[in-house]
Amino acid sequence: MSRLGDGRRPLLLRGGRVVDPSQGLDDVRDVLLKDGRVEGMGRGLGTPDGAQVIECAGLVVTPGLIDVHVHLREPGQEHKETILTGARAAAAGGFTAVCAMPNTIPPIDDPASVGFVLAAGQRAGAARVYPLGCISVGQKGERLAEVGEMIEAGAVGITDDGHPVMDSGLMRLALEYSQVFGVPVADHPEDLGLSRGGAMNEGLVATRLGLRGKPNASEDVHILRDLIVAELTGGHIHLQHVSTRLGVEAIRRAKERGVRVTAEATPHHMLLTDEACEGYRTEAKMNPPLRSPADVEAVIAGLQDGTLDTLATDHAPHHYDEKEQAFDDAPNGIVGLETSLGLVHTHLVGKGLIDLPTMVERMSVAPARAFKLPGGTLQAGSPADVTVMDPAARWTVESKRFLSKSRNTPFEGWELVGRATLTVVGGRAVWEAPSKG
């Protein structure tokens, strides 16, 4: 799809600012990619025979970004997204790999389904697609799915995302059993009893709009439960899309105690509050809901100090018909793959809340580490998965330009600075920004 980097010839990324927190590097370097691997790095590297050279002066070169939380909707809801369109949207957003949630129709709860997602991801030839398998058969929360077989087939973790694991006993089993295979158990923390009937955050906006709210407590209780069970079992819990002040605090303390926990922050929970739901705007309806300014502050603080170590989008495409309903009836979720980097760079890095190396740490290094994925580093010998971004590129979010099939974003019209200009997977350019204009 690109005139650059077909993967057969070596690729020299010359003179970019290489930010690779995995080796504590933030300096101008040339990066040579060859045979699908990072061949080496240095200043003034010669151009090997037949290599393509990409001038990266003024650009930032990083280990490929990884989004550990996306919904690609295939199989079953291909009108919202497919593995192909999702993988391409990921590449366009600067991501070289994504973790696909298993809450498809049917759910990915056996090795054959895992194989289907993997194969479709490979066929897509864009960002790498790593499937997660279900914790429980059919995501019913009753008994463990064939975790071992799914891992063997290529799943990189397990989750019932979309459905919290309400049965603490099942969570215990999952956190015990998963240790054999060395994969994390990812959970959507929400106590369904406390959130029952809720369509948005519990707060004054919900009261005024006449919508039932989900209190912070519905998430806090479940996060604490997961942390306690993780501590009991020694298993690795990965807490998804943490949105509450107390939740962040609980994870911080658990990490201090040595609990094996990793956790996500999403761009939207750091940039928007429940006021975005004013006017019954369904593009601001998501789960967990957008919360209060104090929660936003806490999630950002969590990202800053690494309590929330991974930045993930929870990319949740929905067809426009589904979002064009009364608020109660509309589904939860927003697309995120094509806005994440720009939002984080503009509003967190640009405002001095985190620095560029921290952004790369949370968007590449830590996600790779949490799910034991290849990548997240530019060390010699690692996969040639690289993101090149132009930190000065100004652009406006226009959902009609998305490669994703869906348009459900609350960031329409936002003016951002910084975007991926080149996404390289296995030495092959899978996305190249249209010529600089």
Partner 1 sequence: MNRLISDLGKDLIGLEPLSADQIRMILDTAEPFKEISERRIKKVPVLRHKTIVNLFFEPSTRTRISFEFAEKRLSADTVNIQTAGSSVVKGETLVDTARNLEAMRIDMVVMRHGSSGAARFLAERIPSNVINGGDGSHEHPTQGLLDLLTIRDRLKRIEGVKVCIVGDVLHSRVARSNIYGLVKLGAEVAVCAPPTLLPFGIEELGVRVIPRIEEAIEWADVLNVLRLQLERMQGGFVPSLREYNRVYGVSSARLERAPKEILILHPGPMNRGVEIDSDVADGPHSVILDQVTNGVAVRMAVLYLLAGGAPEKAEAAKGAVEP
Helices (H), 371-435: none
Span from 78-86, 197-205, 238-246, 387-395 in contact with partner 1 (CB under 8 A): 197-205
Sign of the dihedral through C-alpha 377, 1, 411, 80: negative
Q: What's the min distance (Å) between Cβ of 196 and partner 1?
A: 9
**Strand 128-131 to 95-100 pairing:** parallel
Pairing of strands 428-432, 65-70: unpaired
Q: Which is nearer to partner 1, 6 or 324 (CB)?
A: 324
274-293 residues in contact with partner 1 (CB under 8 A) are 279-280
The Cα–Cα gap between 87 and 74 comes to: 11
Please select the residue that binds partner 1; options are 10, 64, 157, 213, rule is CB under 8 A.
Answer: 213
How far apart CA 232 and CA 216 sit, in angstroms, is: 24
Stretch that binds partner 1, among 31-39, 77-85, 210-218, 353-361 (CB under 8 A): 210-218
- Give the number of C-alpha atoms closer than 13 A to the C-alpha of residue 251, restricted to the C-beta side: 32
Helix (H, G, I), strand (E, B) or coil at 424: strand
The answer to whether the beta carbons of residues 102 and 83 sit under 8 Å apart is: no
- 204 near partner 1 (CB under 8 A): yes
Q: Which of 86, 215, 288, 333 binds partner 1 (CB under 8 A)?
A: 215
CB 316 within 8 A of CB 333: yes
Bridge partners for 33 per DSSP = 11, 38
The answer to whether 177 contacts partner 1 (rule: CB under 8 A) is no
| Site mask for partner 1 (CB under 8 A), range 318-337, x = bound | ---x--xxxxxxx-------
User: Which residue among 314, 321, 329, 355 is the active-site one?
Assistant: 314
The neighbouring-strand residues paired with 159 are 186
Residues 114-143 that bind partner 1 (CB under 8 A): none
Residue 24 contacts partner 1 per CB under 8 A: no
The count of residues in the chain is 437
Identify which of residues 255 and 291 has a Cβ nearer to partner 1 in the complex. Answer: 291
Cα angle 83-88-91, degrees, rounded to a multiple of 5? 125
User: Binding segment for partner 1 among 24-32, 109-117, 201-209, 419-427 (CB under 8 A)?
Assistant: 201-209
Q: Which is nearer to partner 1, 142 or 329 (CB)?
A: 329
Q: Is 314 a catalytic residue?
A: yes
- Shortest Cβ distance from residue 293 to partner 1 (Å)? 15
* Number of residues lying near partner 1 (CB under 8 A): 22
Other C-beta atoms closer than 10 Å to the C-beta of 301 total 18
- Min dist. Cβ of residue 335 to partner 1 (A): 21
Query: 138: which 2 tokens?
Result: 């059919």
Tokens coding 254: 């658990």
Structure tokens at 371: 């799910």
Is the CB of 109 or the CB of 190 nearer to partner 1? 190
The residue (of 105 and 119) whose beta carbon lies closer to partner 1 is: 105
- Smallest gap, in angstroms, from Cβ of residue 166 to partner 1? 18
Q: Are 295 and 245 in contact (CB under 8 A)?
A: yes
The yes or no reply on residue 221 touching partner 1 (CB under 8 A) is: no
- Residue range at the interface with partner 1 (CB under 8 A); choices 129-137, 202-210, 238-246, 399-407: 202-210
* Euclidean distance between CA atoms 297 and 114, whole angstroms: 37
| 50 binds partner 1 per the rule CB under 8 A | no
Catalytic center residues: 314
Binding site for partner 1 (CB under 8 A): 202-204, 206-213, 215, 279-280, 321, 324-330
